[in-house]
Amino acid sequence: MDQRHSGLLSVFEENRQPLLRFLMARTRDAALAEDLLQNVWIKIRDLEHAQPVENPLAYLFKSCENAVRDAKRSAARKLARETLWAEQVDVHVGGGQNNLTPEKIAMERDNLRAVLAELEKMPERTRAIFLDFRLQEIPQKEIADQYAISISAVEKHLQRAYRVIREYREKMEKDDAGGAGP
């Protein structure tokens, strides 16, 4: 057995409590938390790693967070994201319709399109900073240096990008609640 991966397993065993505490706090569902922890353990047991894991416990927390995100993810929204991205396709090979209801996916897709339109209205610099951070994965500190602004100013720009989405989603929910009434 590979040493790297048996190392990760023993770190897991030693830190079962904090990991479970995190999953409990994150899901507020004891049974789900236990299940997810078990899934993470199985994954670690079965896998070797392409490269050594630098900080094993932080890696395990991150794995737990990913497991939660997977479990909570809305299938319709996931598919809407995928298919929206996939619209720019020159050739489609194979594939039938997906089995989620087309209405739900179409609705999510329209929502995403509308969010994009909202993002287009963002101030120039906010967009640029967001793209640097999220797409180019440039750390906030480097962005701050590049633009000669403070790190907290960089964060304000990033906060604004997330807020655009939130405000839009909230508006949509309100409209839905109003429009779908009997």
Partner 1 sequence: MTSEPHMNDHNPSNDPIWEQAVRWVLQQQEDRMDVDDWEAFSAWLEQDPAHGQCYDQVVEADADLETMAAKNSGPETNPEPQVPANTKHKTPGAANDNRSWWAGFGAIAAVLIAAIVFWPGQSGPEYALMETAPGEVRTVAIGPSITMTMNGNSELAVNETGKTIRMISGEASFAVTSDIPGAIRVEVADLMLVDVGTVFNVIRDDGEMRLAVTDGAVMVNPDEQRIMVEAGTEIRMQLDNLSYTSRPVSSESVLAWQDGQLVFENRSLASVIADIERILATKITVPDELSGQRLTGTLNLANEEAVVMADLAAVLEGTARKNGDIWIISN
Kindly identify the residues of this chain, within the stretch 32-51, that bind partner 1 according to CB under 8 A. Answer: 43, 46-51
10 is a site residue for partner 1 (CB under 8 A):
no
Residue 2: CB partners within 8 Å, gap ≥ 6? 48, 49
- 58 touches partner 1 (CB under 8 A): yes
- Measured from the CB of residue 159, what is the shortest distance to partner 1 in angstroms? 5
Compare residues 153 and 158 and give the one whose CB is closer to partner 1. Answer: 158
**Nearest distance from C-beta of residue 180 to partner 1, angstroms:** 20
Q: Is 116 in the site for partner 1 (CB under 8 A)?
A: yes
Q: How many residues does the chain have?
A: 182
- Distance, CA of 56 to CA of 58 (rounded, Å): 6
CA angle 159, 136, 169 (to 5 degrees): 35
105 CB neighbour count, 10 Å cutoff: 21
Residues contacting partner 1: total by CB under 8 A = 78
Instruction: Tell whether residue 84 is a contact of partner 1 (CB under 8 A).
Output: yes
- Judged by CB under 8 A, the chain residues 135 through 174 that form the site for partner 1 are 135-140, 142, 146-147, 155, 158-159, 161-163, 165-167, 169-170
- Residue 14 engages partner 1 in binding (rule: CB under 8 A): no
Q: Which residues of 113-140 are buried (b: 16+ CB within 10 A; e: fewer)?
A: eebeeeeeebeeebbebbebbeeeebeb
87 is an interface residue for partner 1 by CB under 8 A: yes
